[in-house]
Structure 1
Amino acid sequence: MSSLPNSAQTASAPNAPTTASRGKIIMMAIIAGAVITNLYCVQPILPLIAASLAVDQTTVDLVAGSALLGFAFGLALLLPLGDRFDRRKLVLGQIIVAFFFGMAAAISPSIWTLIAAAFGLGVVSCVPQQLVPFAAVMSRPSERGRSVGTVVSGIMVGILLGRTISGFVGDMFGWRAVFAVEAAFMIPVWIAAAMLLPKGVPSTNLSYGRLLASLWPLMRDNRPIRESMIIQALLWACFNAFWVNLAALLADGPMHLGSAWAGAFGIIGAAGALAATFGGRASDKLGPRSVIGASIGIVTLSFLLLAGAESSLICLVIGVIVLDIGVQAGLVSNQTRAFAVDPKAQGRINSLYMTATFFGGAVGTIISGWLMARLGWEGIVAFGILLGLIALAIHWIGAPRHAEKPATPGA
């Protein structure tokens, strides 16, 4: 049983919460995708930054790693506030601060100031994960997986297309222009969010300190949350280990392709973004655990395909699509499984889940940079396969005695 705040501590949820229209959910997905580009725009331009600031591969990978680490900190410290305060105000405030950190990154004079700016930008770019609980709470239980999947699809499309845009902008105007464009883009995003996001309804009156203190028992007493956190952290480490080193593979390998090509692979990867929506629907019908197991297998398979990426563009393209399908389906099915624990603790559950996910991504980014510098692409492939096998072992060892039913958090 979950050790959650009792009824004297937790404010009652609205008697009849507003059900968001499909158009509102789609708009949340667009806003989420637009903000998340702050986090991933740096990956295709890492070789440009390394050349400009005269640093090596391991050091420049810290820029991408610090952004993901900052995102994990933001998820841990800011996301629980969504259960206590109006999420709409939190979202608007973070977008404003993201503008200033983007400009700071654009004018950074050294690699270390850029790393610091990237970390700050990562902290306030957790806006998309403020929107996922919106979608979950404002959807009927039978459509919750679909709504979460739609917003997650928006996030994934933003990640992948953001890489595409930054690769081309970086190739034409330099890496500083990428951060300047990202900062400028936050202005129309803020306007759209201010006009379209509904007012958030707090679900608890706990103080901030007690909100953070409630995270530990929430994780400790609920195995579905723990397993979702660990498995998705491993899958996200796989995802980032590939994408953060793709530009180096293309530039330094036999293909000798620039950052624009690295960014263009975002378009290929975006083809798999629909897997998040399908993963959400499958979770509603089959139960999230079944989808999670399939996702782990698909991610592991993708790295077997990517083993030939150095010499075969076909293997690289197919591997990208398969990887993104597996990771995205896993992201939404793990998230749906975790959300099913308690509909009144969506912000805190999401904080635990996404903090673990992006901490895994940050660790995967940093370790894979070291592996790429010393072992080359073979090290990245071995790393991805190993993480997939560990995730598969955790998934099957933790199998319940009775099959989990499809997630219906409001039931």
Structure 2
Amino acid sequence: MQSTPAPSAALAPSLSPSLSPALTLLLATATGLAVASIYYVQPLLGLLASEFGVGSATVGLLPTLTQLGYGAAILLLSPLGDRFDRRRIIVTKAAALVAALLFAAAAPGFAALCAASVAIGLAGTLAQDLVPAAATLAPEAQRGKRVGQVMTGLLLGILLSRVASGAVAAVAGWRWVYGAAAVAVAALIPLLWRGLPRFVPATQAGYGSLLASMGALWMRHAALRRAALAQGLLSVAFSAFWSTLALVLAGPDFGQGSAVAGAFGLAGAAGALAAPLAGGIADRRGPQAVIRIGALLVLVAFCVEALAPASLWLLVAVAVVFDLGVQAALVSHQSVIYALDAASRSRLNAVLVSAMFAGMASGAALGSVLLAHLGWRAVPVLGAVAALGALAFTRRR
């Protein structure tokens, strides 16, 4: 087994930790816009199925392919943040994301949109370069809180992307969703180049050694394994709900359109606002209690949805509660892994988020299949089972 490349003192970041309020806001905004690109498609699924003449299971390929692209890039590209200047990586990925979004806006058919979805997923990993950058620049005693603040941007991007996507599509059509997103990301590129400091690499290992070292980190740190598996299962529940919501709302039980599906992001955003609070509690009291409570909230929310009568307001309440649980667990898991090895934060983050987005892709695929064959009640059952599994991992030592 190959050991993790050891950092040299000369390779530590050349700047002392410095994360001003303005830079924190920039990182949070950029993180939110980057990750939002992955989720714009979800409220559009009903419109896209109608325009391209495909069924619910087939149109479900779009979020699945996006999540798979994201997960693959996390695993294969994000570790480069420990090897090269993160500022250059961030700016390069931002430019690639602009190109992918424009390709989606101009896609002439369903196959082209599938290809664009993969490209958006690959470039959208920009968000996961920004979070380790924040962890590196933040003072150690406040790392959980500062990372939580940047994660608020990420989580609001995930959730409010649906609001923006549904609203824009209802007024101007789905192509404008991707076009406007491309403009927003492009506007951030010069700000990121000027605002971010230069990061000196933490290792000089080659690409192959860098990838192999992630296996060594996985074997070395039981806490990393528990965090990745638990958050991956919570992500199955998260993605199964949000990937099928537009189709569920458009069905006979609810009869709602894309604008209502997008507006559900406002409900989930309430949970995202708890990220800095969860990070602060993890700094003071330790993250394990926050993780367990988060997994329990997800379990309870999906059990209620599976058993209670169909209600639009119940769906809103479920979105608030389970999003709060998922986001609190994620921020606390990040506090755990960033404390394991300061020189390997990009790789540690890559392992955690790869597991998370493997869960996202699985949740999107399973949710679509269950909805098509068993009806919408099967989706919260899947979420409850996944949350129960995550809760079991949080209790292991």
Question: Matched residue of 2:343: which SS?
Answer: helix
Instruction: Tell me the amino acid that sits aligned with residue 108 of structure 1.
Output: A
1:164-221 CA distance string (max 9 Å, x none) = 0100111122222211222222211213222322222211111112111111011111
1:222-242 CA distance string (max 9 Å, x none) = 101111111111111111110
> Are residues 275 and 309 of structure 1, via their aligned partners in 2, closer, same or farther at CA, if it must alter by over 3 Å?
farther
The equivalent of 1:237 in structure 2 is 236
The aligned runs of 1:342-361 (5 Å cut-off) are: 342-361=341-360
The equivalent of 1:5 in structure 2 is 5
User: Residue 253 of structure 1 contacts residue 310 of structure 1 at CA under 8 Å; is this kept in 2?
Assistant: no
Instruction: Tell me the amino acid that sits aligned with residue 323 of structure 2.
Output: D
> Are residues 366 and 11 of structure 1, via their aligned partners in 2, closer, same or farther at CA, if it must alter by over 3 Å?
farther
Instruction: Tell me the amino acid that sits aligned with residue 254 of structure 2.
Output: M
1:125-160 CA distance string (max 9 Å, x none) = 111110111111111211010011111110000111
Aligned equivalents of 1:150 and 1:144: distance in 2?
Answer: 10
For structure 1, which segment, 15-24 or 146-155, has the greater mean C-alpha deviation from structure 2 after superposition? 15-24
Alpha-carbon offset, residue 305 of structure 1? 2.9
User: Residue 70 of structure 2 contacts residue 357 of structure 2 at CA under 8 Å; is this kept in 1?
Assistant: yes
Aligned equivalents of 1:318 and 1:161: distance in 2?
Answer: 16
Aligned equivalents of 1:255 and 1:81: distance in 2?
Answer: 46
The equivalent of 1:275 in structure 2 is 274
> Are residues 315 and 197 of structure 1, via their aligned partners in 2, closer, same or farther at CA, if it must alter by over 3 Å?
same
Alpha-carbon offset, residue 124 of structure 1? 0.8
Report the TM-score, using the length of structure 1 for normalisation.
0.93
Aligned equivalents of 1:127 and 1:305: distance in 2?
Answer: 36
Matching of residue 300 in structure 1 with residue 299 in structure 2: yes
Matching of residue 333 in structure 1 with residue 332 in structure 2: yes
Instruction: Tell me the amino acid that sits aligned with residue 151 of structure 1.
Output: V
> Are residues 85 and 310 of structure 1, via their aligned partners in 2, closer, same or farther at CA, if it must alter by over 3 Å?
farther
Aligned equivalents of 2:10 and 2:336: distance in 1?
Answer: 24
1:317-353 CA distance string (max 9 Å, x none) = 1111001100100111111111111011001111111
Aligned equivalents of 1:228 and 1:364: distance in 2?
Answer: 18
Aligned equivalents of 1:3 and 1:213: distance in 2?
Answer: 8
The equivalent of 2:361 in structure 1 is 362
The equivalent of 2:67 in structure 1 is 68
> Are residues 342 and 111 of structure 1, via their aligned partners in 2, closer, same or farther at CA, if it must alter by over 3 Å?
same
The equivalent of 1:224 in structure 2 is 223
Aligned equivalents of 2:313 and 2:364: distance in 1?
Answer: 24
Instruction: Tell me the amino acid that sits aligned with residue 5 of structure 1.
Output: P
Structure 1 residue ranges (4+ consecutive) displaced by more than 4 angstroms after TM superposition: none
The aligned runs of 1:25-64 (5 Å cut-off) are: 25-64=24-63
Aligned equivalents of 1:103 and 1:33: distance in 2?
Answer: 18
The equivalent of 1:101 in structure 2 is 100
User: Residue 87 of structure 2 contacts residue 196 of structure 2 at CA under 8 Å; is this kept in 1?
Assistant: yes
Alpha-carbon offset, residue 253 of structure 1? 3.2
Alpha-carbon offset, residue 12 of structure 1? 3.6
Instruction: Tell me the amino acid that sits aligned with residue 245 of structure 2.
Output: L
Unpaired segments ≥5 residues, structure 2: none
Aligned equivalents of 2:199 and 2:36: distance in 1?
Answer: 24
Question: Matched residue of 1:199: which SS?
Answer: coil
Alpha-carbon offset, residue 16 of structure 1? 6.0
Instruction: Tell me the amino acid that sits aligned with residue 6 of structure 1.
Output: A
User: Residue 249 of structure 1 contacts residue 310 of structure 1 at CA under 8 Å; is this kept in 2?
Assistant: no
Alpha-carbon offset, residue 309 of structure 1? 7.2
For structure 1, which segment, 99-108 or 319-328, has the greater mean C-alpha deviation from structure 2 after superposition? 99-108
Aligned equivalents of 1:342 and 1:310: distance in 2?
Answer: 48
Alpha-carbon offset, residue 254 of structure 1? 2.3
The equivalent of 1:187 in structure 2 is 186
Q: Percent identity?
A: 37
For structure 1, which segment, 270-279 or 234-243, has the greater mean C-alpha deviation from structure 2 after superposition? 270-279
Alpha-carbon offset, residue 308 of structure 1? 6.0
Alpha-carbon offset, residue 359 of structure 1? 1.1
Instruction: Tell me the amino acid that sits aligned with residue 131 of structure 1.
Output: L
Report the TM-score, using the length of structure 2 for normalisation.
0.96
The aligned runs of 1:7-26 (5 Å cut-off) are: 12-14=11-13, 17-26=16-25
Unpaired segments ≥5 residues, structure 1: 400-411
Aligned equivalents of 1:189 and 1:21: distance in 2?
Answer: 18
The equivalent of 1:135 in structure 2 is 134
Alpha-carbon offset, residue 62 of structure 1? 0.7
1:62-91 CA distance string (max 9 Å, x none) = 101111111111111111111111111111
Question: Matched residue of 2:107: which SS?
Answer: coil
The equivalent of 1:406 in structure 2 is none
User: Residue 11 of structure 1 contacts residue 202 of structure 1 at CA under 8 Å; is this kept in 2?
Assistant: no
1:253-278 CA distance string (max 9 Å, x none) = 32211000000111121121112111
Instruction: Tell me the amino acid that sits aligned with residue 27 of structure 1.
Output: L
> Are residues 275 and 253 of structure 1, via their aligned partners in 2, closer, same or farther at CA, if it must alter by over 3 Å?
farther
Instruction: Tell me the amino acid that sits aligned with residue 313 of structure 2.
Output: I
Aligned equivalents of 1:327 and 1:253: distance in 2?
Answer: 29
The aligned runs of 1:246-285 (5 Å cut-off) are: 246-285=245-284
Aligned equivalents of 2:5 and 2:96: distance in 1?
Answer: 32
Alpha-carbon offset, residue 311 of structure 1? 2.1
Aligned equivalents of 1:54 and 1:15: distance in 2?
Answer: 55
